[in-house]
């Protein structure tokens, strides 16, 4: 049966190339890369790596930003959900989640940098009136050596992701019943949520949380814009070595890529340890039975923290928009000397091709990913087993191995197989990164769907296929569309897979944006970042709007409010 082949297909089609790509990337770390004259195995690349100045610091910043970012973002999301009461403000924030999630990381980073830099928007508006500055102050606000600006930027971007994942998972838990029960036992609302709902929610969003750790500890684009510089994060260092005109540095770069893998795995392991610790401490807190203590502080934190981060993200977007039409803008003027549409008028004529390619690639990769994920999950449901789930775990490898190392290996592999760059390969490359996200967005919701629905339908005489189409899919419409929207956003944001697997022959909005960002023209950066953000937004609007449209008469099926 076709369905049973799905996990096999995933393994063969995707895990195989991933492993092969990694192997091809790992060999140079031990000195093997015949095209550069490396034909014997040696540990020299590792010695060179550990002799790099500032390596320890790079590793530390990458490791810390993985854990700190995730901890803060998760805390903000859980506190918000706990404190939210369905007020108008809360609903607004929930609605803003999708647009904020659709903003590509690089665009968000530029927005934040435009906002908080010493010559940024905030300083311009506060000067000289409040600060007395007539020239920008000589302060390290972005690119600070501790990576605080980088972590701040990552937190802004990961909060919407975790919030969306939580909102997609929540309806299956029946939070209202849990809340009612806890409230009837006398728990104040915020505590009731934290003690009654959060412990059940966390397992459902654990994979997304792990993805955030992996992402935050290995991110490149945001770290280039906001991260420390002397030395930069490990991922940025690796990119630099790969891009060094001195090709012999690639051996060391490959060793660095393996080290990055180790750093990310270490961050995941430490987090896993922290989970255990939190479970133990949390248990005592739960069993303590406190019904009021901390309620007010928690509620205040839940409201204000997300308010601040949402506001900061929006202000960053506003800064992008303002800079995209700004003429020359002298510090500390509150507004530019004039406005111009030059950036937009230059970009628009070149837009049609890249937008079309972006949509084709993102649409195809997302649909394929969705098909594969659904087939694998449905197969799991019917067979009652998790066949090859260990192999499926390898799907997440592309998220934790540095893209550049693994893609270089993959290009070598595909070339060796005689596959020439083509649109199909680009879609395939995107699929490698889209599938894990679609899978992790969907799998928990799928696996934890109340099995009694299906059983009921089966006892009424429906075939398994009919159960799938008529019961499971409709019930899962909201998480399905969310997974799709996430997949689209991931695909649209890809730069290296598009460039390397397509040999640059299939320009997308993102490749254009990244190429132009290298020139530093803020007007163009603003224009392309906004364009880049607007495409995934379409996906999210559909994801939010469609269930509301289809289920106008079924409140609990609408997913996000």
Partner 1 sequence: MPKPHFAIPWLALLAAAPLHAASPDADWQSILDEARGQTVYWHAWGGDSRTNDYIAWVGRRVDERFDIDLEHVKLDDTSNAVSRVLAEKQAGNHDDGSVDLIWLNGENFAAMRDNDLLYGPFAERLPHFPLTHPEHNPEVVTDFTLPTEGYESPWGKAQITFYYDGDALEAPPRSIEALLDWAREHPGRFTYPRIPDFTGSTFLKQALIALTEDRDALYAPVAESDFAAVTAPLWDYLDALHPHLWRSGRQFPASGPEMRNRLGDGELDLAFTFNPAEPAAAVADLELPPSVRSYVLEGGTLGNVHFVAIPYNSPHQAGAMVVADFLLSVEAQARKQDLEVWGDPTVLDLTRLPAEKRARFDTDDDHPALLPPEALGETLAEPHPSWMTALQDAWRERYVR
Stretch that binds partner 1, among 140-148, 165-173, 204-212, 458-466 (CB under 8 A): 140-148
Q: Which is nearer to partner 1, 105 or 558 (CB)?
A: 105
Name the phi and psi angles at 130, rounded to 5: -85, -35
CA distance 211 to 240: 24
Instruction: Output the smallest distance, CB 526 to partner 1, in A.
Output: 12
Among 285, 331, 344, 551, the residue binding partner 1 under the rule CB under 8 A is: 331
Among 140, 345, 383, 389, the residue binding partner 1 under the rule CB under 8 A is: 140
Instruction: Output the smallest distance, CB 416 to partner 1, in A.
Output: 4
Give the interface size with partner 1 as a residue count (CB under 8 A): 67
Instruction: Output the smallest distance, CB 72 to partner 1, in A.
Output: 24
Reported as type and span, the H/E element at residue 33 is strand 32-33
Strand positions, DSSP E, 62-111: none
Instruction: Output the smallest distance, CB 487 to partner 1, in A.
Output: 25
Among 44, 68, 71, 118, the residue binding partner 1 under the rule CB under 8 A is: 118
The tokens describing 344, both together, are: 């937009």
Q: Which is nearer to partner 1, 133 or 285 (CB)?
A: 133
Chain centroid to Cα 414, Å, comes to 27
Chain centroid to Cα 548, Å, comes to 25
Among 174, 291, 342, 546, the residue binding partner 1 under the rule CB under 8 A is: 342
340 forms part of the interface with partner 1 (CB under 8 A): yes
CA distance 193 to 444: 20
CA distance 12 to 319: 46
Q: Which is nearer to partner 1, 378 or 512 (CB)?
A: 512
Over its C-alpha atoms, the chain yields an Rg (Å, rounded) of 24
CA distance 229 to 227: 6
String of contacts with partner 1 for each residue 234-263, x by CB under 8 A = ------x-xxxxxx----------------
Q: Which of 54, 402, 18, 343 is nearest to 221 (CA)?
A: 402
Quickly tell me which residue has 């008028």 as its tokens: 345
Residue 68, Cβ density class (10 Å: 0-12 exposed, 13-18 middle, ≥19 buried)? middle
Q: Which of residues 487-516 bind partner 1 (CB under 8 A)?
A: 495, 499-500, 503-505, 507, 511-512, 514-516
146 forms part of the interface with partner 1 (CB under 8 A): no
Please answer whether residues 507 and 456 qualify as being in contact, where contact means their C-beta atoms are separated by less than 8 angstroms: no
Q: Which of 106, 72, 70, 43 is nearest to 258 (CA)?
A: 43
β partners of residue 32: 39
Among 129, 145, 289, 424, the residue binding partner 1 under the rule CB under 8 A is: 145
Instruction: Output the smallest distance, CB 176 to partner 1, in A.
Output: 50
Q: Which is nearer to partner 1, 179 or 515 (CB)?
A: 515
33 forms part of the interface with partner 1 (CB under 8 A): yes
Question: Beta strands 38-39 and 32-33: pairing type?
Answer: antiparallel
Stretch that binds partner 1, among 49-57, 59-67, 271-279, 389-397 (CB under 8 A): 49-57
The tokens describing 452, both together, are: 């009694």
Please answer whether residues 66 and 213 qualify as being in contact, where contact means their C-beta atoms are separated by less than 8 angstroms: yes
Q: What is the dihedral of CA 373, 376, 379, 380, to 10 degrees?
A: -100
Please answer whether residues 78 and 194 qualify as being in contact, where contact means their C-beta atoms are separated by less than 8 angstroms: yes
Among 5, 12, 36, 181, the residue binding partner 1 under the rule CB under 8 A is: 36
Q: Which is nearer to partner 1, 128 or 545 (CB)?
A: 128
The DSSP 8-state label assigned to residue 35 in this structure reads G
Stretch that binds partner 1, among 59-67, 288-296, 455-463, 520-528 (CB under 8 A): 520-528
273 forms part of the interface with partner 1 (CB under 8 A): no
Please answer whether residues 261 and 57 qualify as being in contact, where contact means their C-beta atoms are separated by less than 8 angstroms: no
Q: Which is nearer to partner 1, 118 or 282 (CB)?
A: 118
450 forms part of the interface with partner 1 (CB under 8 A): no
Q: Name residues whose C-beta falls within 8 Å of residue 217's C-beta, 6 or more positions apart in sequence.
A: 62, 63, 65, 66, 67, 263, 264, 267
CA distance 369 to 484: 9
Q: How many helices (H) and strands (E) does the chain have?
A: 29, 2
Stretch that binds partner 1, among 98-106, 270-278, 405-413, 464-472 (CB under 8 A): 405-413
CA atoms within 13 A on the CB side of 461: 0
291 forms part of the interface with partner 1 (CB under 8 A): no
The tokens describing 536, both together, are: 């995934």
521 forms part of the interface with partner 1 (CB under 8 A): yes
352 forms part of the interface with partner 1 (CB under 8 A): no
Q: Which is nearer to partner 1, 70 or 511 (CB)?
A: 511
**How many residues are listed for the chain in this entry?**
561
Stretch that binds partner 1, among 174-182, 416-424, 443-451, 485-493 (CB under 8 A): 416-424
Q: Which is nearer to partner 1, 304 or 342 (CB)?
A: 342
Q: Which is nearer to partner 1, 246 or 287 (CB)?
A: 246
Among 180, 416, 456, 465, the residue binding partner 1 under the rule CB under 8 A is: 416
Residues that bind partner 1 (CB under 8 A): 33-37, 53-54, 57, 118-119, 135-136, 138, 140, 143, 145, 224, 229-231, 240, 242-247, 326-331, 338, 340, 342, 346, 408, 411-416, 418, 420-421, 495, 499-500, 503-505, 507, 511-512, 514-524
């Amino acid at each position: 049966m076709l369905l049973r082949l799905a996990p096999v297909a995933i393994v063969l089609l995707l895990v195989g190339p991933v492993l092969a790509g990694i192997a091809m990337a790992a060999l140079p770390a031990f000195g093997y890369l015949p095209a550069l004259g490396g034909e014997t195995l040696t540990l020299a690349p590792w010695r060179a790596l550990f002799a790099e100045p500032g390596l320890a610091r790079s590793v530390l910043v990458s490791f810390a930003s993985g854990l700190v970012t995730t901890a803060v973002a998760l805390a903000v999301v859980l506190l918000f959900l706990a404190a939210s009461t369905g007020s108008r403000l809360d609903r607004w924030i929930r609605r803003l989640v999708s647009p904020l999630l659709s903003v590509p990381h690089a665009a968000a980073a530029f927005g934040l940098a435009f906002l908080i830099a010493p010559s940024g928007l905030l300083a311009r508006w506060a000067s000289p009136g409040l600060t007395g500055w007539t020239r920008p102050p000589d302060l390290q606000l972005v690119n600070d050596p501790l990576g605080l600006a980088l972590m701040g930027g990552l937190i802004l971007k990961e909060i919407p992701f975790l919030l969306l994942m939580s909102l997609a998972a929540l309806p299956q838990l029946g939070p209202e019943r849990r809340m009612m029960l806890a409230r009837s036992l006398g728990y104040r609302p915020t505590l009731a949520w934290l003690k009654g709902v959060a412990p059940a929610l966390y397992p459902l969003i654990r994979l997304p949380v792990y993805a955030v750790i992996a992402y935050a500890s290995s991110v490149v684009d945001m770290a280039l814009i906001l991260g420390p510089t002397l030395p930069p994060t490990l991922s940025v260092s690796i990119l630099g070595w790969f891009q060094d005109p001195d090709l012999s540095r690639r051996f060391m770069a490959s060793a660095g890529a393996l080290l990055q893998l180790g750093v990310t795995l270490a961050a995941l392991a430490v987090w896993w340890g922290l989970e255990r610790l939190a479970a133990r401490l949390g248990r005592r807190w739960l069993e303590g039975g406190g019904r009021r203590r901390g309620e007010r502080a928690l509620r205040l934190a839940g409201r204000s923290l997300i308010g601040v981060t949402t506001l900061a993200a929006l202000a960053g977007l506003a800064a992008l928009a303002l800079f995209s039409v700004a003429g020359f803008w002298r510090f500390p003027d509150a507004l530019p000397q004039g406005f111009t549409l030059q950036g937009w008028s230059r970009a628009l004529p070149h837009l049609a091709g890249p937008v079309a390619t972006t949509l084709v690639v993102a649409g195809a990769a997302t649909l394929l990913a969705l098909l594969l994920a659904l087939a694998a999950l449905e197969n799991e449901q019917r067979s009652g087993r998790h066949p090859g789930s260990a192999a499926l775990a390898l799907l997440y490898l592309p998220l934790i191995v540095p893209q550049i190392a693994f893609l270089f290996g993959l290009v070598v592999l595909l070339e060796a197989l005689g596959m020439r760059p083509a649109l199909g390969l680009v879609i395939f490359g995107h699929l490698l990164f889209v599938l894990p996200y679609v899978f992790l967005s969907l799998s928990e919701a799928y696996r934890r769907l109340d099995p009694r629905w299906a059983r009921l339908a089966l006892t009424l005489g429906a075939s398994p296929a009919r159960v799938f189409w008529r019961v499971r899919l409709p019930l899962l419409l909201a998480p399905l569309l969310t997974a799709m929207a996430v997949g689209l956003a991931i695909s649209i944001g890809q730069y290296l897979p598009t460039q390397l697997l397509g040999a640059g022959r299939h320009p997308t909005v993102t490749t254009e944006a990244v190429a132009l960002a290298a020139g530093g023209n803020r007007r163009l950066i603003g224009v392309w970042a906004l364009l880049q953000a607007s495409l995934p937004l379409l996906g999210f609007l559909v994801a939010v709007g469609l269930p509301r449209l289809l289920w106008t008469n079924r409140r609990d099926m609408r997913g996000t409010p």
